[in-house]
Structure 1
Amino acid sequence: MNCQPWLKTLVYKCINIEHSCLLCSELAEQHYPLCVACEHELPWLDEHCLRCALPLPMAGLICAQCSRRPPAFDQVIAPWHYGFPLDTLISRFKHNGQWPLGRLMAEMLGLQLHHRYLDDLARPDLLLPVPLARRRLRERGFNQAGMLGRWLSKALAIECDEQLLLRTRETPAQQSLNAQARQRNLRRAFALASAASLKGSHVAVVDDVLTTGATAQAVAQLLREAGARRVDVYCLARTAKPGQA
């Protein structure tokens, strides 16, 4: 009996993961469930502020806001700007519990970070997901930043601590507030666990989307006061200024 055809099929399946694309359902033909065509259609963030990743018309610049008042964090790493279809993917992950979409985006963020570490990006000692308020956590059932942090931790082999950074009070949803109101909304909204020791550490804060940077600023300021020597922000997407394409 000749088993060679079956063996060839078996070997093919072992070395080629037969994912279906999570966007178009076609065969992905990649190691993650996204086909090349859909990957090219994602809103990749190319030209952006070197500090806060705000989309800009040219690369290699620092935006006016970061020049006037440098933020407490050192650098934001985001693969995409918050546009179609990525905004839909993030919404389906956050609000509809479609975790495979979150896992896919976290995997792609992890790949970009791997490349950046090989280039010139400093590797952090610790990942800290932004915590959710208790009421919102009960409503949603999970913290999307915590899930992203765990996936990134596994991909990057960097510890993720979901207990060190705490949400100390309930705050209104940030989406309905302007930049100044967001900053006021987050005053004293975060704290560190009593046993936290960050002196001399390089920390990366993990979140899904950076909008005005108010959350990142509040958390980074707290971490700096606790002795962190560097604070980066890892997120999936960065929004543009209102009215900016």
Structure 2
Amino acid sequence: MDRLSSARLLGRSAVRTGLSFLLGQGCAVCDRLQHQTFCPDCQGQLQDLVRDFKGWTPSEQHPLLIGALAPYSGPLKQALRTLKYDYRPDVGRVLGVALAKQWKKHRPLMKLSTTLYVLPIPLHRHRQIQRGYNQAKVIGQSFSQASGVPLLAGGLVRVENTLPQYQLGLKARQANLKDAFQVGQPLRRLGQRLGAMPNILLVDDIYTTGTTAKSAADSLRRSHVPVVGMIAVARAVGD
């Protein structure tokens, strides 16, 4: 994307932000006009999803996944689509706080030799410019503030502009993400300052097959960075 396109995107984002401030904005699920991220009805539906979901149970099928807020279905599926495609970072901030509450309630006991940092799964820079932000970073920032786990932005870099994973089968997903990530300089500098690489908790908006999480974790571990696991706002139903 060229500079002119980026400027136009930023301009449209500023207009949307101004209109939302003056007029309110639609509920991130049902689009009902109001001044909160979710209307009371949709907020209640989301709370029901979170309450009934057993997303913090260890799984041999997905050993990296520590936990998720709720299944990727119904109102949460729509909320995450709004976050990704409608320039609504407020949705990510609200969901990050909710994820932090569940983390505090269910987090596993960990004997860690160094400090734990939360690290968002990165987007390629072209896609981030297109979208206006990295939704995983928005969630991670809010999670960090609410949980007290420090955020490590830029610790991982997406060097390949890969195809969207939802379009691909399992083998194609794995090939698509081969060598997609590299350790970023902020993480290397932090490791030098601490005298050892910090423990990393990955965070993303959606966990499906675990291919993205595994690719990111493998890239970190090749540089001797310990990865304790991953948390996500939503986990794909049936996975």
> Structure 1 or 2: larger helix share?
2
> Structure 1 or 2: larger strand share?
2
How far, CA to CA, are the matches of 1:48 and 1:134 in structure 2? 31
Q: CA deviation at 1:50?
A: 3.9
Matched, 1:37 2:27: no
CA contact (8 A) 1:23 1:38 kept: no
Number of equivalent positions = 202
Matched, 1:151 2:142: yes
* Matching residue within 61, 69, 74 for 1:79: 69
The one-letter code matched in structure 1 to 2:89 is: W
Match of 1:104 in 2: 94
Aligned to 1:142, the other structure's residue is in SS state: coil
TM-score of the two chains, using structure 1 as the length reference: 0.70
Please list, as runs of the form range in 1=range in 2, the aligned pairs for 1:12-161 lying within 5 A after superposition. 35=40, 37-42=44-49, 44=51, 46-47=53-54, 50-51=57-58, 62-63=59-60, 65-66=61-62, 71=63, 73=64, 75-117=65-107, 120-122=108-110, 125-161=116-152
Largest Rg, 1 or 2: 1
Gaps of 5+ in 1: 1-20, 52-61
How far, CA to CA, are the matches of 1:115 and 1:104 in structure 2? 17
Q: CA deviation at 1:130?
A: 0.8
CA-based RMSD? 3.2
Structure-2 change in CA distance of 1:45 and 1:136 (3 Å): farther
How far, CA to CA, are the matches of 1:220 and 1:34 in structure 2? 37
How far, CA to CA, are the matches of 1:163 and 1:26 in structure 2? 35
Q: CA deviation at 1:76?
A: 2.5
TM-score of the two chains, using structure 2 as the length reference: 0.72
Q: CA deviation at 1:22?
A: 6.7
Q: CA deviation at 1:201?
A: 3.0
* Matching residue within 188, 208, 218 for 1:221: 218
Structure-2 change in CA distance of 1:221 and 1:155 (3 Å): same
The one-letter code matched in structure 1 to 2:102 is: Q
Q: CA deviation at 1:39?
A: 4.0
Matched, 1:201 2:171: no
The one-letter code matched in structure 2 to 1:203 is: I
How far, CA to CA, are the matches of 2:146 and 2:234 in structure 1? 19
CA contact (8 A) 1:33 1:104 kept: no
How far, CA to CA, are the matches of 1:155 and 1:232 in structure 2? 19
Structure-2 change in CA distance of 1:140 and 1:229 (3 Å): closer
**Which stretch of the first structure deviates more once superposed, 176-185 or 95-104?**
95-104
